Each structure stands twice: as structure tokens, then as C-alpha cells.
Structure 1
Amino acid sequence: MSLPSPLLAVTDRHGHARPLAATVRAVIAGGGRWIWFRDRDLPPDERRRLGETVADTVRAAEGFLIVGGDPDLAVILGAGGVHLPGGAPVSPVRDRLGGVLLGVSAHSLREVEAAALAGADYVTLSPIFPTASKPGYGPALGPEAIAAARGFGIPVVALGGIGEGTLPACREAGAAGFAVMGGVMHGEDPEGATRALLAGWADRGIV
């Protein structure tokens, strides 16, 4: 299964006064149609309500929604995929949801290999570069980890410290795409930030 877009935009309602749905709408307007609904710090009922708003927004803008860590919520929201934490069992989710896009978070080559063997469609590998949002996962892996991970035959989405300046290294290492949270969720112009990132990716011949 091909990835919906090179850019995976990870939701984060913190850090800006605008409603999350408005930010998501702006990201999709900027070309970032692949949205990962994360915001997992909310109680289940609140997360479901926020997810319904985000799902409606993504659907209306003809984007592609995946839900982080909760297959049940993905079904409720009619999402196109699920993103599982590292080490989570893949087969039961695949058996239940069928041909949805199924991703797994990886923080080492061992976890990439495990996800590939389990039948995931892609992995996010992080942190590639230093980032304040991933302090608990040790030092940055560096783009060389992307190149090594490609040997397991699964698309690798670079996550952690990704911006216009670090895109070339991810491309040269063979990343299938890149994931961004703060770079598109927290600024004053999420649409413009999304356009700039995608333009940088396209300028380097990797649309």
C-alpha cells in the first residue's frame, strides 16, 4: 500500500490558541493530506469527541486520517488507518480492520525489523534529529539509521527534528516520507509551513 502523502502531519492541540480542527484544515489546504490524530493525553470520551471533529474536518477536505494507538476509535471515526506504538501486536489489528493503512512507531532498527516481519505497511523511525518532543527515546539516530532501516523492505517515515534544513539528509538516506508535529501545528501559518515543507521535498525530486 502506498503512502497517502510524503508528509505525515501529527496533531497536537497544544501550543496555539486556534482550534485543532482549524489547524488541520489549514494543513490540508497546504497540501498535507495525511493526518495522524494523536492527542492521546485526553480522557477517552474527550478524545473521541475531538477525534470526531478532526475526522469530519479531514473528510470534508478530502484528506486521509489515521488514528494513533486505538483501533476501536479508528473504527468509530471511519479512519483510513491506525498507527500503533512500538511493540504493539500488529496481526490482531490487521485481522480486525483488514486493508487499512497500518503503521508502527520504531525507535531502533530492531523495532523496524519487528514491524516489517509483523506485516506493518510503514514505520515512523525516531528521533532522527534532536527534538524536544522525543526526550525519552535517547540520542538522535541520525539519517544513517534510515538507510539501514530500508534494508528491511518497509517504507520508513522520518520523525524527529524534521524541517526544511534536514529534509535533504532524509531524502538522501532513502526515507519514504517525513512526519512533522510542531513545525505545522504550532506556528502562525500552518498552511504556509506545510506548503514550504512539501515544496522542499518536491524540489529535491521526491514527490
Structure 2
Amino acid sequence: MVRFKKTVDWSLYVITDAQVIGGRSLTAVVESALRGGATVLQYREKKKSTRAMVDEAMALAALCRTYHVPLLINDRIDVALAVDADGVHLGQDDMPLRLARRLLGPHRLIGLTVHHREEIEKAQQDGADYISLAPVFATPTKPDHQTPMGVDGLRRLMTWVRCPAVAIGGINAHNIRDVLQTGVNGVCVVSAILGQDDPERAARTLRALIASTPAS
């Protein structure tokens, strides 16, 4: 698989969620989002067996190769290696980043969710390829999240960022331009695309808003 290390377009980062997708086909919904312009895909699954995860991730890897979009696996380094994904995304309670790097090698992407200055600085010291600043707004897809920082809080955190950064948490067509004007490299979305009846159209709408937002 082609490695994207230095050439990632972080602007529209889509994360899967089985509850948001509902009874629809995961691959069909994801392909619709990719057709609409999603630039990064993260496969996030917390409840299925390892075998089921590998099967789903393998199908998503094939789609991502077709659309030339990097595939990241949430938390599960074993699944990422099994399907030759482009990297992983880690939370603060997951495997330490430096150990993940040792297992994945220098060429795969590793991202880390961060919430405040200290976590940002440690992630950068440990060699994160990108960070996810969370949460900007409240979101039902992760009800146990920390207190939302809002756009002003996001802008303050960006003063400490020296690597690619994406924002996550309750981002949609109504607030995406305000989020982008803080200087982030992109936005992470779940329900704003995958929860819509027409994910392709939803992705195209967000892509248009991204393209029309002036650089900060």
C-alpha cells in the first residue's frame, strides 16, 4: 500500500461508528462518503470480535486504495498490521505512542487525541504525525467526552500546535467554517456524513464549505 506520511489531506476526516450507520452496509456508506470527497478514513469499532474487525477493515482498506485515501485504525495495532492500514489513531488510555511507533515502524501514521496543552506538548515530543483536538462541541456519538472547549478554546490550543491538527466533536455544516478559521488542518466528523441519508451529498457539502473558507 502507498504510504501517505508527508502528503495527507486532513481536511475532511471521517470516522466510522456502527450505531450511526445503523443497519446500512458499512462499506456502502463509507464508499458514498469517499465519493463525496472524504480525505481520511478512520475505522473505529469497540464491540465486534477481532475476526469481524479484520474482515471489515480489509474491505475498507480495499476501498481506500481505490480512492487513494489513507485508512487509520482506531486503537487496534494488530488489526492495522493485519490489513496493512496506513496507521492508527490512539486515545490517551491506549498504547503509549512511542511503543506504538516501535511496533508500526517509521512509515505508518500515528495520531493521538489530546485535550489540553500538556497532552499536545507530550504528543509532539513523542512524535505524533498528527493530533486530534477534542471535543470542540458536545456530541452524542461519544457521550462520555470531556467538557467541550468551543471555538475559542480550540483557537487557544492551536497556539501550542506544531504538527498537523484536526478538530473533533459536534462539527457539522453549520459550524465547520468557524472551526476551520482557528487554523486547524481539518475536521473529523461522524454523524455529519455517515449519519445522513445521503453520505455522498453530505460530504460534498462539507467539502464545498471547506474550499470556500478563507485561510486563517
TM-score by length of 1: 0.92
Aligned equivalent of 2:192: 183
Distance apart, 1:181 and its partner CA: 0.5
2:212 is matched with which residue: 185, 203, 207?
Answer: 203
Q: C-alpha separation between the residues in 2 aligned to 1:140 and 1:177?
A: 18
Aligned equivalent of 1:167: 176
Q: Which amino acid aligns with 2:132?
A: T
SS of the residue 1:173 aligns to: coil
Identity score, percent? 28
2:157 is matched with which residue: 149, 167, 173?
Answer: 149
**TM-aligned CA distance change 1:148 to 1:123, over 3 Å:** same
1:93 is matched with which residue: 100, 105, 110?
Answer: 100
RMSD value, Cα: 1.7
Distance apart, 1:2 and its partner CA: 4.4
Q: C-alpha separation between the residues in 2 aligned to 1:122 and 1:26?
A: 25
Say if 2:136 is the partner of 1:131. Answer: no
Aligned equivalent of 1:82: 88
1:110 is matched with which residue: 98, 113, 118?
Answer: 118
Q: C-alpha separation between the residues in 1 aligned to 2:153 and 2:125?
A: 18
**TM-aligned CA distance change 1:192 to 1:4, over 3 Å:** same
**TM-aligned CA distance change 1:107 to 1:134, over 3 Å:** farther
1:32 is matched with which residue: 14, 38, 49?
Answer: 38
Q: C-alpha separation between the residues in 2 aligned to 1:152 and 1:62?
A: 27
SS of the residue 1:14 aligns to: helix
Aligned equivalent of 2:47: 41
Range 71-80 or range 86-95, more displaced: 86-95
The count of residues paired between Structure 1 and Structure 2 equals: 206
Q: Which amino acid aligns with 1:32?
A: A
Structure 1 unaligned segments of length 5 or more: list them. Answer: none
**TM-aligned CA distance change 1:92 to 1:80, over 3 Å:** same
Q: C-alpha separation between the residues in 1 aligned to 2:76 and 2:138?
A: 27
Distance apart, 1:102 and its partner CA: 1.1
Range 129-138 or range 119-128, more displaced: 129-138
TM-score by length of 2: 0.88
Native 8 Å contact 1:158 1:178 kept in 2: yes
Q: Which amino acid aligns with 1:82?
A: V
Q: C-alpha separation between the residues in 1 aligned to 2:141 and 2:116?
A: 17
Range 178-187 or range 144-153, more displaced: 144-153
Q: Which amino acid aligns with 2:211?
A: A
Distance apart, 1:168 and its partner CA: 2.0
Distance apart, 1:45 and its partner CA: 1.6
Native 8 Å contact 2:181 2:213 kept in 1: no
**TM-aligned CA distance change 1:190 to 1:116, over 3 Å:** same
Distance apart, 1:92 and its partner CA: 2.0
Q: Which amino acid aligns with 1:190?
A: P
Aligned equivalent of 2:127: 119
Q: C-alpha separation between the residues in 1 aligned to 2:115 and 2:143?
A: 12
Q: C-alpha separation between the residues in 2 aligned to 1:126 and 1:188?
A: 26
Distance apart, 1:202 and its partner CA: 0.6
Q: C-alpha separation between the residues in 2 aligned to 1:84 and 1:108?
A: 16
Q: Which amino acid aligns with 2:183?
A: G
